[in-house]
A and B are shown apart, each in its own frame.
Chain A
């Protein structure tokens, strides 16, 4: 079958996925021998991984396996925890983010994050989205208006909130709140968006909207998503990293390979539901 014929019979989404998979891998984030400790407890052990640009990389694994810790290590949110200590290297475009001269505030402006529980600020919808821009120095009202609209459209929320930008972000439903948080994260135009179980507090319909959104977001951003839901990882991700207890990265490969033909027996056991 020629490529022309193929494009005639495939749906648009599949076309996108095909191009996504065909894209050459440009590593945007790379961990090398990363160890993370909370006090005496080791949360990550010798993790090495290369996360490709403009793809969805899923982190799966049982509770306490360190996948969220890994996510927080990327944008240095672990700095908020006093007892946390990081060894090894974690590079963003080849620059170790734990170098002395890296400002975590600047880093977080490049790497946005969406949390498990929707956490809109107790402010208006508009101010929620504008917050990141304001702290990053945008003061011009026209610029802000544009950016807020763009971000809300990007998060597939604009149509639902267009007429009520001044009402509180807390008045939205859970799924809308989470999309507001995504809008807030993309408003400042980061390169990478980290998502820590973004759908686990949502109902299935709201969750599926977020999944569709992730599929669109990856055209412009690199998405790293932690999820408990293996079907979700299988549905939306290009690459899957499996962490197991002890903070060990057991396997990292194309999502299809992980779910169809895992190399490691423990990964197979985990995926087939023998534990975790």
Chain B
């Protein structure tokens, strides 16, 4: 850029060629970055489209795209059967297309896991943020992060090799006299709960640590105990971040696949017995996707119907999270 002061006609501010070139570079960089950002949006749209397109053929016998090209519509599975039927066996000789048993499996695991991860994760976050000394925190936080980084399949084997035979089965046998198989709903709840603890604790702890010390000091000066400060000041002040961590954990539990398949099994049924084998939506998709089913059959297409439903469930959790964030924005400044 010219900084020649003798040039009286606009010293130093009239861009010369170099500035123009800079602007061109700026525009190119901007387009490149925009392109990268667009990839994620396009991917989301593409997934949504593929799911809907294929799910249509589960219900109507032809994909949306085929229908547009004039394929005849032939109802194979009715929505009524899909949403209210209680027998899920699309690959059976006499097929059942009621999705409820596997939705039940997913929701039961999710709720059960939330009962594990939310209390333990929140308590851990409060401990880390309010109670622990620096040295304890410096050891505990990395441990939690390791827990978060373990592949889910490893959790699955942990459930098969430890949680189910060592913890759940003896409880079933001694307390209830139930002789349990290798899989159980309870062990699925426990393992998914355990694996989502770090998610709750680490995001909640970040939110709690962001609460200004001014507020803590104000409360301590009023004769509040640590417990008062944690529960009546810090937790309410950080509630939107804490709630966000719950939603993330729940979304993760809904979408969790490998651990839950190995822990809870592949037996679609609605049951109140926590020691029974069940099947989640994701476990069903694993089973279908293993490759013994012929592409294009109704049972193959059921994969996409279930996938679409799962997608809608996690999407609504995300929307709920957004709504909650707007509604309960951190008020402190």
Contacts and interface: CB of A to CB of B under 8 A. Distances in A.
Given A77-B217, A135-B228, A122 B331 contact: yes
B264 interface: no
Nearest to B332: A122
A105 B224 contact: yes
B223 interface: yes
A66 B330 CA distance: 34
Interface in B214-228: 214-225, 228
Question: Helix, strand, loop or mixed for chain B's interface?
Answer: helix
A228 interface: no
Interface stretch (A19-27, A109-117, A259-267): A109-117
A44 interface: no
B327 interface: no
Contact of A105 (B212, B214, B218, B225): B225
Interface in A181-195: 181, 184-185, 188, 194
B220 A77 contact: yes
Contacts of A15: none
Interface in A102-152: 105-109, 112-113, 115, 117, 119-123, 131-132, 134-136
A80 B220 contact: yes
Given A77-B217, A115-B218, A170-B332, A123 B236 contact: yes
B237 A119 contact: no
A119 B217 contact: yes
Given A131-B232, A135-B232, A170-B331, A121 B223 contact: no
A121 B218 CA distance: 8
B133 A82 contact: yes
Q: Which of A119, A131, A188 has the most CB of B within 10 A?
A: A119
Nearest to B225: A105
Contacts, number: 75
B326 interface: no
A194 B332 CA distance: 24
Contacts of A107: 223
A255 interface: no
B333 A170 contact: yes
Contacts of B212: 119
A168 interface: yes
Contacts of A123: 236
A75 interface: yes
A75 B221 contact: yes
A72 to B, nearest CB: 9
A106 B223 contact: yes
B224 A135 contact: yes
B298 to A, nearest CB: 55
B233 interface: yes
B290 interface: no
Contact of B218 (A119, A134, A168): A119
A185 B221 contact: yes
A136 B223 CA distance: 7
A121 B217 contact: no
A119 B222 contact: no
B220 A121 contact: no
Contacts of B215: 119, 121-122
B30 interface: no
Contacts of B330: 122
Contacts of A194: 221
Contact of A121 (B133, B134, B225, B233): B233
Interface in A83-115: 105-109, 112-113, 115
Interface of B: 133-134, 212, 214-225, 228, 232-233, 236-237, 330-333
Given A105-B225, A109-B222, 4 more contacts: A115-B217, A119-B217, A131-B224, A136-B223
7 tightest Cβ-Cβ pairs between the two chains A and B: A109-B223, A122-B331, A132-B222, A113-B221, A119-B214, A108-B223, A119-B218
11 contacts: A80-B216, A80-B220, A107-B223, A108-B220, A112-B221, A113-B221, A115-B218, A117-B214, A119-B215, A122-B215, A188-B223
Interface of A: 75, 77, 80, 82, 105-109, 112-113, 115, 117, 119-123, 131-132, 134-136, 168, 170, 181, 184-185, 188, 194
